[in-house]
């Protein structure tokens, strides 16, 4: 078994980012020595900090499947060729953010689209919209592959914007609060790549995936057990044609996560 989990609204509470409601399930995972992979729209900078807080030594997936990062001290992908970017071992699947932001800003100027994005926000502004603390907001602003935006224009203008995105090979993925503009990568493809690296020979592991939003669909449909974690703020994403078993939690966020993991793994005896 390998577990892939989203963070915001899934393992972390949507409003206060706490994972304390998931303590028993996290202990059970550690006890069973199961590899669990953080698969999130958050940045590498955020993940280095959060992996530490969560005591998770495994590779993690950043910015909606844009890249897999193998942290220092983790030798799980020893034989896999990786790039080294700023001293970190990574496998990137998506184009860099700079050019994407440039395009978005050109379109905004030329066509008058109404939207704002992380490139427009200061850390204190981001704290206000997200409830992140100042230091966390600074880490969230250090983006490499994706630009989260808020659409402040009409639905018709969105159609026009979406057509421009797809002509450039870009996509819009829905997170808990923002729409993430990025290249053609997703959490599901990154999960499949990492799982195949973890188990290059022998039987494929059972993949458990947990998520709460549209940007988790690509990961959830490819899992053997997909857990939709309920959100107090938005409707669950539509999972059409899951390849495995589909569950939906009763509880919200980390408390739903906790229950789902204990149900699947069995509580300690």
Binding site for Mg ion (CB under 5 A): 6, 8-10, 40-41, 176, 212-213
Residue 178 in the binding site for ligand 2M8 (CB under 6 A):
yes
Least separation in angstroms between CB 211 and Mg ion: 6
Among 175, 183, 188, 211, the residue binding ligand 2M8 under the rule CB under 6 A is 175
255 binds, among Mg ion, ligand 2M8, none (CB under 5 to 8 A by kind): none
Q: Classify 254 in phi/psi space as left (phi over 0), alpha (psi -120 to 50) or beta.
A: alpha
The helix (run of H) or strand (run of E) holding residue 45 is helix 44-53
Q: How many chain residues are in contact with ligand 2M8, going by CB under 6 A?
A: 14
Alpha carbon dihedral 129, 135, 141, 145, in 10-degree steps, equals -120
Helix spans in 55-186 (H): 97-111, 123-130, 134-140, 155-167
Any idea what DSSP says for residue 8? B
Examine residue 13 and tell whether it contacts ligand 2M8 (CB under 6 A).
no
The tally of CA atoms less than 13 A away on the side-chain side of residue 172 is 18
With H, G, I as helix, E, B as strand and everything else as coil, classify residue 101: helix
Nearer to ligand 2M8 (CB atom), residue 177 or residue 206? 177
Residue 125 or 265: the one with the smaller Cβ distance to ligand 2M8 is 125
Measured from the CB atom, is 6 or 13 closer to Mg ion?
6
Residue 148 in the binding site for ligand 2M8 (CB under 6 A): yes
Stretch 36-55 residues interacting with ligand 2M8 (CB under 6 A): 41-43, 46
Closest distance to ligand 2M8 from the beta carbon of 226 (Å): 17
Tokens of 10: 């899934």
Handedness of CA 46, 49, 51, 53 (dihedral sign): negative
Which CB, 128 or 245, lies closer to ligand 2M8? Answer: 128
The residues that bridge with 2 in the sheet, in sequence order, are 35, 207
Q: Which residue lies nearest ligand 2M8, judged by its C-beta?
A: 175
- Which residue among 213, 231, 255, 259 contacts ligand 2M8 (CB under 6 A)? 213
Q: Please report whether residue 140 would count as binding ligand 2M8 according to CB under 6 A.
A: yes
Measure the CA–CA gap between 198 and 176, rounded to whole angstroms: 29
**CA distance readout (Å), 12 to 36, 78, 196, 211, 256:** 15, 30, 27, 11, 11
Q: Tell me whether residue 6 is one of the annotated catalytic residues.
A: yes
187 and 67 Cβ atoms separated by less than 8 Å: no
> Which of residues 28 and 42 has its CB atom nearest to ligand 2M8 in the complex?
42
Give me the least distance between CB of 194 and Mg ion, in Å please. 16
* Active-site residue set: 6
Binding site for ligand 2M8 (CB under 6 A): 8, 41-43, 46, 130, 132, 140, 148, 175-178, 213
């Amino acid at each position: 078994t390998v577990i892939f989990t989203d963070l915001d609204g899934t393992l972390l509470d949507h409003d206060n980012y706490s994972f304390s409601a998931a303590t028993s399930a996290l202990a059970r995972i550690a006890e069973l020595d199961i590899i669990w992979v953080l698969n999130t729209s958050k940045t590498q900078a955020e993940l280095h900090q959060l992996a530490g807080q969560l005591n998770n030594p495994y590779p993690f997936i950043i910015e909606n499947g844009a890249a897999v990062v193998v942290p220092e001290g983790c030798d799980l992908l020893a034989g896999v060729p990786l790039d080294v970017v700023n001293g970190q071992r990574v496998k990137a699947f998506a184009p860099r953010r700079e050019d994407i932001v440039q395009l978005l800003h050109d379109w905004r100027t030329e066509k008058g689209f109404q939207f704002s994005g992380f490139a427009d926000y200061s850390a204190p502004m981001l704290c206000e919209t997200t409830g992140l603390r100042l230091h966390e907001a600074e880490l969230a602003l250090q983006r490499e592959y994706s630009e989260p935006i808020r659409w402040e224009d009409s639905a018709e203008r969105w159609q026009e914007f979406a057509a421009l995105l797809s002509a450039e090979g870009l996509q819009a993925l829905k997170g808990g609060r923002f729409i993430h503009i990025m290249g053609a990568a997703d959490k599901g493809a990154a999960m499949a790549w990492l799982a195949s690296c973890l188990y290059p020979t022998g039987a494929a592991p059972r993949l458990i995936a947990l998520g709460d939003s549209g940007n988790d669909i690509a990961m959830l449909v490819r899992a053997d057990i997909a857990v939709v974690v309920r959100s107090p703020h938005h409707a669950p994403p539509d999972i059409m044609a899951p390849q495995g078993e589909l569950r939906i939690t009763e509880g919200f966020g980390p408390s739903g996560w906790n229950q789902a993991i204990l149900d699947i793994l069995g509580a300690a005896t």
